[in-house]
Amino acid sequence: MANKLELTWYGKDDPIKVEPRLLIENVELSNTALESNTENMLIHGDNLLALKALEKKFAGQVKCIYIDPPYNIGAAFEHYDDNLEHSLWLTLIRPRLEILWNLLHREEGSMWISIDDNEQAYMRVLCDELFGRHNFVAQIIWQKRYSRENREAIGDVHEYILVYAKSKEIFKAIRNLVPMSEEQAKVYKNPNNDPKGRWRPVPMTAQAGHATPEQFYSITAPGGKVYTPPAGRCWALSKSTFEQLLAERRIYFGKDNNSQPNTIRYLSEVSGVAPWTWWPSNEVGHTDAAKKEILALFGKENIFDTPKPETLIERIIHIATNPGDLILDSFLGSGTTAAVAHKMGRRYIGIEMGNHAYTHCKVRLDKVIAGEDQGGITKVQNWQGGGGYRFYELAPTLINEDAFGEAVINQAYDADALAAAVALHEGFTYQPNADFFWKQAVGNESSYLFTTTRHLTAVYLDTIKGSMEEGEYLVIACRSYDKGLDRAYANIAVKKIPQMLLDRCEFGKDDYSLNIVHPPVYEDEEVEDNE
């Protein structure tokens, strides 16, 4: 679209071609003793490569995605032009967002992105472009500090959480309410000693734009005063509903029994309140609490500089999901999202590139499973241990260069791994058939992929053709084949590997790291700020 509003930057038109990698379970690092059939995944590796590995299998299945990417504060670019800084960051974040959006549940999925002022505006415009402005839900302000910040010209005490949904309307209908705080509950009182407990009056009028005739009538208070809706407004209740509530003593006419009528709403009937965009630290935690959680888990030797408090992630997961739903965090850090999801009975996929996957994420989840993590939301969720996860690592690149600079298949791949990898590249599902050896991978109900390391001969091809049924289509990937076999049959395509894959993606690159800058380091709240 010629007039499309979009964010532009240097390098945007040179998209990254990511190699689809296999995910290989490290059985020794998995924790499945208490739950052998667990679907939870902890993945070590570059998150762009890992997301690409997940894309086909999990497309449209993830209910909630939370990410806390590097904030790009510029520390690593002090000698470079600021334009380059943003360009690199945007170039690296865009393909991750594209895959993440594809992974979201097709109707009910929502994405939550933590960010600060340095890239908030750029991130928002980029998300608008990728996801559509109509799918923007809210920009939440999280109060990350509870003490005054006096070191800057204007103290930095908050961050943002951008919220997008696959369908804004569906998300509104299915999102969960948040528990009412005691401060919010103070409006509920019981001045008349109502046996049903605390209550508050709710105004009975509404805008008259879409009112029905049944919403226009007069009401006589017990004291004799007659009320009608003000100009441009109507009663929020039909006359029959009003009379029913009046009979149930659910209409309040003030202390003098002669004031404008209000409906009575009991505190016991309120399951929660609609989330709003201001999340204060006393409700969802702050950076100081988050650092104390990490300190309790790992000690001073393995401190993590930028954790989020468990209560913050708990609120996100509570709003966006229900027990059993799938959560994904591709910037897992110290493992907070996975730990919280585990305690809340959600399934999860967590991805971490750094050594934190081993030193923090795995260790933390092991403690959660063993019931040894007593911090964060443990008591609120009444968590006592259990569950499990599987630990995965990325397979090496499929294609290497030999001593002569020629592309060759990585010798680390055996026949089965090669077949699975080629299937992933070609968009097939690796699913070997016990009856037909050539039905290694399935595209749809009538298309198949067969990968072999042998030289394909005419006799061998004829044997395969003879076992195929009418309407079936087959792709054969092999190292070499007799001349002319690629044109022998209309329903059999013969291709050479690795040549068939070389233009698909970039092989041999293991790091598309977003750690191009240092993330923010929060100061302890206990330290007094200089006045």
Q: Are 109 and 319 in contact (CB under 8 A)?
A: no
Question: What fold, for 399-501?
Answer: Trna Endonuclease; Chain: A, domain 1 (3.40.1350)
Q: Are 131 and 162 in contact (CB under 8 A)?
A: no
Domain with CATH 3.40.1350 in the chain: 399-501
For residue 527, the model assigns a pLDDT of 40
Q: Are 517 and 74 in contact (CB under 8 A)?
A: yes
% the chain with pLDDT above 90 = 78
> Of 34-38, 78-82, 307-311, 317-321, which gets the smallest average pLDDT?
78-82
Asked if pLDDT for residue 524 goes beyond 80, the answer is no
Cβ–Cβ contacts within 10 Å for residue 228, how many?
12
Asked if pLDDT for residue 252 goes beyond 50, the answer is yes
For residue 308, the model assigns a pLDDT of 94
> Of 57-66, 133-142, 203-212, which gets the smallest average pLDDT?
203-212
Query: Cα(393)–Cα(122) distance, rounded to whole angstroms?
Result: 32
Q: What is the pTM of this model?
A: 0.86
Q: Are 29 and 362 in contact (CB under 8 A)?
A: yes
Pairing verdict, β 390-394 and 41-44 = parallel
Asked if pLDDT for residue 520 goes beyond 60, the answer is no
The residue among 254, 216, 258, 250 whose CA lies nearest residue 233 is 216
Helix residue spans in 322-430 (DSSP H): 336-343, 356, 363-370, 415-426
Asked if pLDDT for residue 28 goes beyond 50, the answer is yes
For residue 523, the model assigns a pLDDT of 54
Q: What is the mean pLDDT of residues 424-452?
A: 95
Q: What is the mean pLDDT of residues 62-86?
A: 75
Asked if pLDDT for residue 118 goes beyond 70, the answer is yes
Q: What is the mean pLDDT of residues 288-303?
A: 87
Look at the alpha carbons of 178, 179, 181, 186 in this order and tell me if their dihedral is positive or negative.
positive
More confident residue, 9 or 395: 395
Q: What is the DSSP string of 143-157?
A: E--SS---SSSS---
Burial bucket for residue 88 (CB in 10 Å: 0-12, 13-18, 19+): buried
% the chain with pLDDT above 70 = 94
For residue 404, the model assigns a pLDDT of 86
- Residues recorded for the chain: 531
Residue with tokens 């029994």: 257
For residue 528, the model assigns a pLDDT of 43
The residue among 53, 30, 33 whose CA lies nearest residue 42 is 30
Asked if pLDDT for residue 81 goes beyond 60, the answer is no
Cβ–Cβ contacts within 10 Å for residue 444, how many?
9
Q: What is the mean pLDDT of residues 85-94?
A: 86
> Of 294-303, 318-327, 359-368, 446-455, which gets the smallest average pLDDT?
294-303
Query: Cα(25)–Cα(389) distance, rounded to whole angstroms?
Result: 11
Angle between helices 287-298 and 310-320 (to 10 degrees): 110
Q: Residue 42 — pLDDT band, cuts 50, 70, 90?
A: very high
Instruction: Name the CA radius of gyration of the chain, rounded.
Output: 30
For residue 80, the model assigns a pLDDT of 54
Asked if pLDDT for residue 375 goes beyond 70, the answer is yes
The residue among 113, 206, 222 whose CA lies nearest residue 163 is 113
Q: What is the mean pLDDT of residues 252-271?
A: 93
Asked if pLDDT for residue 518 goes beyond 60, the answer is no
Which bin fits 74, alpha (ψ -120 to 50), beta or left (φ > 0)? left
Q: Residue 124 — pLDDT band, cuts 50, 70, 90?
A: very high
Query: Cα(163)–Cα(136) distance, rounded to whole angstroms?
Result: 6
Q: What is the mean pLDDT of residues 84-97?
A: 86
Kindly report the average pLDDT of the chain as a whole number. Answer: 91
**Could you tell me which residues are beta bridge partners of residue 444?**
447
Domain with CATH 3.40.50.150 in the chain: 23-178+274-394
Q: What is the mean pLDDT of residues 227-256?
A: 95
Cβ neighbors of 321 (< 8 A, separation 6 or more) are 63, 64, 327, 346
For residue 488, the model assigns a pLDDT of 95
Architecture label for domain 23-178+274-394 = 3-Layer(aba) Sandwich (3.40)
Q: What is the mean pLDDT of residues 329-334?
A: 95
Query: Cα(51)–Cα(64) distance, rounded to whole angstroms?
Result: 15
Query: Cα(478)–Cα(453) distance, rounded to whole angstroms?
Result: 6
Q: Residue 305 — pLDDT band, cuts 50, 70, 90?
A: confident
Q: Residue 153 — pLDDT band, cuts 50, 70, 90?
A: confident
Query: If you ran DSSP here, which 8-state letter would residue 486 be given?
Result: G
For residue 529, the model assigns a pLDDT of 45
